Amino acid sequence: MTLHALRAICLAGLFAPAFAAAQPEEWRPSFPAAIDSRTWLDTHRRLCFGVDGASLDEVIDAGSNVICGGTNAAGIGFAGGPFILGPDGDFIDIMTGEPIPARTLADLRSRVDAAHKRDAKVVGEVIRFNMPPWLQAKHPEWQEINSPGGKPITVEELKDLHVLGCWNSPYGDWFIKSQVELVKRLDWDGYNMDGFGCWAQCFCPSCTAAYAEECGGTIPAVRDVNSTEYRHYLKWRLDRYTRFVARWTAAIKAVKPDFVTAPWTTGPGRWWHWMGAPAAEGTDAMHRVLDAPFLELLWDFPADQGSNLLPAFTCRYYRGLCGDRPAWILPYLCEQGQFNMQPPRAECDLREMTVLTNGCIPAQGRWQQNADTPLADLNKLVAEREPFTHDARSLKWAAMFVGESSRLLYGLPGARTEVPLGAWIGSGVDTPDIGKLEPGERRMPAHMESAVGVFRAMMEDHLPLDIIIEPDLENAETLRQYKVLVLPNSACLSDKATATVRAFVKAGGGLVAMHESSICDEFGDRRDDFSLADVFGAHHRGTEDFSARWPNYPKWTELYLGIAGPDLHPISDDAVIRSNYRRGSDRLQYIGWMTNVEIERGAEKLGRRLSAPVEWPFIVLNKSDAGRSVYIAADLGQAYFLAPYQYQRRLISNAVRWAAITPPPVTVSAPLCVQAAFYTQAGGRRTVVHLLNEVNTSANRAIPENNPSQREETLPIAGISVAVAGEAITAAFAEPGHLSLPLTKTPVGFVVTLPRLDTHTMIVFE
């Protein structure tokens, strides 16, 4: 079954008649403990897809040491297929119910053994949660039911309509048992599964009973994120799926402790899939109970005018989903959506190094090669950098919270995004495009757009930045690692997260928050005021929409920050900000959402919005015991992504610096087009700074709707300097190549200069 066909089945409940649903009052999401086990990922990372028995030696000779047959087991692959346990404990075809011949299983095992003899690991292919005929006949109540009052189909109907078993029913346990037996029989080292998600509402007996028991209500018939009943149910379903994944992982690791769970998870490689609920494919928290989840990068990407912003953000976001662990990311090496012409070598290298720079592991597809870009060369790019990426941890200074609740439940259609409910927006090449807007007009939920804008500002000013998710924001120990926290219009915060953030600031942490951060709880239900109003020093009094898209600007506003005098502050006293003023002007134009706030006594106003007849504060500065807070009464991150001015970049990065109090331990002086990422190894004794040259000399040679990145050359950059604080540095090298860089002593540490940056270089401080 195709992915869009599966979604069509999942949407069947959308038009069901509505009935009243009780709102749960007591239930709250919980987060399972993250897995903490060492696996063979310490030594084997160079995975190649599309391998068969005939190509095994060729692929290993080219440097791959992890083997997988395919991204989805439509049939028999290298080491797996559409298998599930039958009634007698033997494997059957999950689609037809026919027995799997012993010879077939023996052939699969022989291929696994052949890979093991060459010191390669094998990731087996797993099919989705389909109901086989015998199970449909014996346990029809285990079938996923997508509409209230729906009935399981008959076995005869199953021949034409493949349906899913409900993972929340005993089917889930049977599926897990099947996976454990496959691992025992075929000696897999890991599994890969496409279509890994919880997808739709389910009204099966198991879901109905569990929801009544835990939440005291009935599953809502509506599928609308504007409904509070549906939002509560969606959070419950996502939490349930996280628990199922945790149980699945634990069962397999009980058999093989170093087994690697590596399914394709939430699909943001197709960034239009971030459009919001009810298209909730998976959960953020489930990534913490997976070893190395997969993502298809640059599949169904929209035209981005040759920019590398969204691919880089996506990789950094996945690193955050995994809790400062690497995900596996397959950068699609193709042009024009899914048309499979090979991009130039310079573009292929940039895509591979974008993954690596942002903390993930590039995977390869055997079909994605030609004479200019052979598999051996791609593996070599990764292999020669492995000594400095293995077991690396991000340099902890600034964290940006990107929350599942704000992504799904706050970016509501007609309010913060133009995406229709339930719309599946694809490339139009290999996935259907049912969106009604032109590609250049399509939007993500406001929270995601704000996060991308903040990411852009921090990258252009070369500041360390981690992405954290909801389990982290409720964990005081996690927050204590950082000097400053950024909330990019993070509207949905739980009471527990609010308390953790408040304590973080009181203990000396810095906070930068934008627009309607904390105005809703984790279910998207609006509060009367910010839950962090006391930390912000500001109270919510409403919002105004000054947003627009080129070429129509029906409404915009102006800000005053001051050119000289008492209004100047380290956040606003900046040459880049002043460069946006016209001669004789002291006003800055702004296009985007703004918040009307009332300032608490003791807080400080920085700038104002000139909106006659009322003036509203623009930035509010507040101190909370040892910490500092910067509240920006606008979605400045979203504005810097959609309708940017350069003053917005510096307001964001300067606010982060001021709130942090302590400067970052590493600073980079480089052009805006150089992305820097910061890591430590060996318990902090080694610092590794990745430098990525994102210059695109072939950008903007086509209309925006048809202008994907196709770099044909690399424009070298000279004279980049990197400074590191501390007295313990003894040597610095440019890697790969082990080029020694002279250390120059400074009052706070040392500085080195890189003579030349081509595509990617690491500066390693020992």
Question: What pLDDT score does 436 carry?
Answer: 65
The stretch 722-750 carries a mean pLDDT of: 96
How many CB atoms neighbour CB 184 within 10 A?
A: 12
Distance, in Å, from the CA atom of 220 to the CA atom of 118, rounded to the nearest integer, reads 54
182 pLDDT exceeds 90? yes
Contact 323, 472 (CB under 8 A): yes
The stretch 126-150 carries a mean pLDDT of: 93
- Superfamily (CATH H level) for 667-765: Golgi alpha-mannosidase II (2.60.40.1180)
The stretch 554-568 carries a mean pLDDT of: 82
Q: Which band of pLDDT confidence, cut at 50, 70 and 90, is reported for residue 107?
A: very high
How many CB atoms neighbour CB 603 within 10 A?
A: 18
Question: What pLDDT score does 2 carry?
Answer: 34
Contact 187, 212 (CB under 8 A): no
Contact 717, 669 (CB under 8 A): no
Contact 603, 569 (CB under 8 A): no
Peptide bond into 613 cis (omega under 30): yes
Helix axes 345-357, 309-321, angle to 10 degrees: 30
74 pLDDT exceeds 80? no
What residue has token string 């939440």? Answer: 215
What residue has token string 């310490």? Answer: 42
The alpha carbon of residue 514 and the mean position of all alpha carbons in its chain are separated, in whole angstroms, by 20
How many CB atoms neighbour CB 598 within 10 A?
A: 13
Portion of the chain with pLDDT greater than 90, in percent: 72
Short-list 587, 579, 545, CA closest to 562:
587
Could you tell me which residues are beta bridge partners of residue 620? 605, 631
Contact 382, 45 (CB under 8 A): yes
Question: What pLDDT score does 54 carry?
Answer: 96
Distance, in Å, from the CA atom of 669 to the CA atom of 739, rounded to the nearest integer, reads 19
Distance, in Å, from the CA atom of 498 to the CA atom of 518, rounded to the nearest integer, reads 8
Peptide bond into 551 cis (omega under 30): yes
Per CATH, the number for 398-410+445-541+597-605+616-663 is: 3.40.50.880
Tokens describing residue 465: 């930045």
Alpha-carbon Rg for the chain, nearest whole angstrom, is: 26
The stretch 636-649 carries a mean pLDDT of: 95
Interstrand relation of 627-632 and 592-599 (parallel, antiparallel or unpaired) = unpaired
Q: Which band of pLDDT confidence, cut at 50, 70 and 90, is reported for residue 16?
A: very low
The stretch 661-686 carries a mean pLDDT of: 97
The 10s digit of each residue's pLDDT in 18-41 is: 333 444 457 998 899 999 888 999
Short-list 558, 424, 572, CA closest to 6:
424
Tokens describing residue 353: 């190094």
For the chain, give the longest Cα–Cα distance.
Answer: 85
256 pLDDT exceeds 80? yes
Average pLDDT, whole number, for the chain?
A: 89
Could you tell me which residues are beta bridge partners of residue 765? 687, 732
Distance, in Å, from the CA atom of 124 to the CA atom of 81, rounded to the nearest integer, reads 8
Q: Report the range of poorest mean pLDDT among 352-366, 399-413, 427-441, 582-596.
A: 427-441
Distance, in Å, from the CA atom of 29 to the CA atom of 522, rounded to the nearest integer, reads 9
Question: What pLDDT score does 614 carry?
Answer: 83
Q: Report the range of poorest mean pLDDT among 109-123, 338-352, 439-453, 747-761.
A: 439-453
What is the residue type of 339?
Answer: F
Q: How many residues does the chain have?
A: 766
Distance, in Å, from the CA atom of 426 to the CA atom of 423, rounded to the nearest integer, reads 10
3-state class (DSSP) for residue 280: coil
535 pLDDT exceeds 80? yes
Residue 660 CB contacts under 8 Å (≥ 6 apart), including other chains: 397, 398, 483, 484, 510
Tokens describing residue 135: 């199970």
The stretch 149-167 carries a mean pLDDT of: 91
Q: Is the dihedral of CA 166, 171, 176, 178 positive or negative?
A: negative
Question: What pLDDT score does 19 carry?
Answer: 34
Distance, in Å, from the CA atom of 691 to the CA atom of 760, rounded to the nearest integer, reads 6
What is the residue type of 85?
Answer: L
Q: Which band of pLDDT confidence, cut at 50, 70 and 90, is reported for residue 10?
A: very low
Looking at 429-569, list the stretches that DSSP marks H as alpha helix, in order from N- to C-terminal side: 446-460, 470-473, 476-479, 495-506, 533-536
Short-list 438, 444, 381, CA closest to 736:
381
Short-list 377, 1, 384, CA closest to 160:
1
267 pLDDT exceeds 70? no
654 pLDDT exceeds 80? yes
Residue 340 CB contacts under 8 Å (≥ 6 apart), including other chains: 334, 367
Domain definitions of the chain by residue range:
398-410+445-541+597-605+616-663, 667-765
Question: What pLDDT score does 497 carry?
Answer: 98
Question: What pLDDT score does 552 carry?
Answer: 78
Short-list 649, 679, 650, 668, CA closest to 757:
668
For residues 149, 150, 151, 153, the Cα torsion angle rounded to the nearest 10 degrees is: 180
Q: Report the range of poorest mean pLDDT among 118-132, 372-386, 468-482.
A: 118-132
What is the residue type of 762?
Answer: M
Interstrand relation of 686-693 and 484-487 (parallel, antiparallel or unpaired) = unpaired
Tokens describing residue 215: 């939440």
Which helix (H) or strand (E) segment is 715 a member of?
none
Question: What pLDDT score does 279 carry?
Answer: 61
The alpha carbon of residue 275 and the mean position of all alpha carbons in its chain are separated, in whole angstroms, by 13
266 pLDDT exceeds 90? no
Distance, in Å, from the CA atom of 398 to the CA atom of 663, rounded to the nearest integer, reads 10
For residues 679, 681, 687, 689, the Cα torsion angle rounded to the nearest 10 degrees is: -40
The stretch 657-663 carries a mean pLDDT of: 97
636 pLDDT exceeds 90? yes
Distance, in Å, from the CA atom of 713 to the CA atom of 343, rounded to the nearest integer, reads 11
480 pLDDT exceeds 80? yes
The 10s digit of each residue's pLDDT in 268-319 is: 555 555 655 556 778 999 999 999 999 888 876 555 567 899 899 999 999 9
Which helix (H) or strand (E) segment is 104 a member of?
helix 102-117
653 pLDDT exceeds 90? yes
Contact 455, 316 (CB under 8 A): yes
Distance, in Å, from the CA atom of 197 to the CA atom of 643, rounded to the nearest integer, reads 34
Tokens describing residue 616: 């509203």
Distance, in Å, from the CA atom of 161 to the CA atom of 292, rounded to the nearest integer, reads 33
**One fold for both 398-410+445-541+597-605+616-663 and 667-765?**
no
Distance, in Å, from the CA atom of 131 to the CA atom of 664, rounded to the nearest integer, reads 54
3-state class (DSSP) for residue 444: coil
Residue 372 has φ and ψ, to the nearest 5°, of: -80, -25
If one compares 674 and 269, the residue with the highest pLDDT of the two is 674
The stretch 155-167 carries a mean pLDDT of: 90
The 10s digit of each residue's pLDDT in 400-439 is: 999 999 998 886 656 665 555 445 556 566 666 666 666 6
3-state class (DSSP) for residue 188: coil
What residue has token string 């006391």? Answer: 534
Question: What pLDDT score does 277 carry?
Answer: 53
341 pLDDT exceeds 70? yes
Q: Report the range of poorest mean pLDDT among 7-16, 224-233, 567-576.
A: 7-16
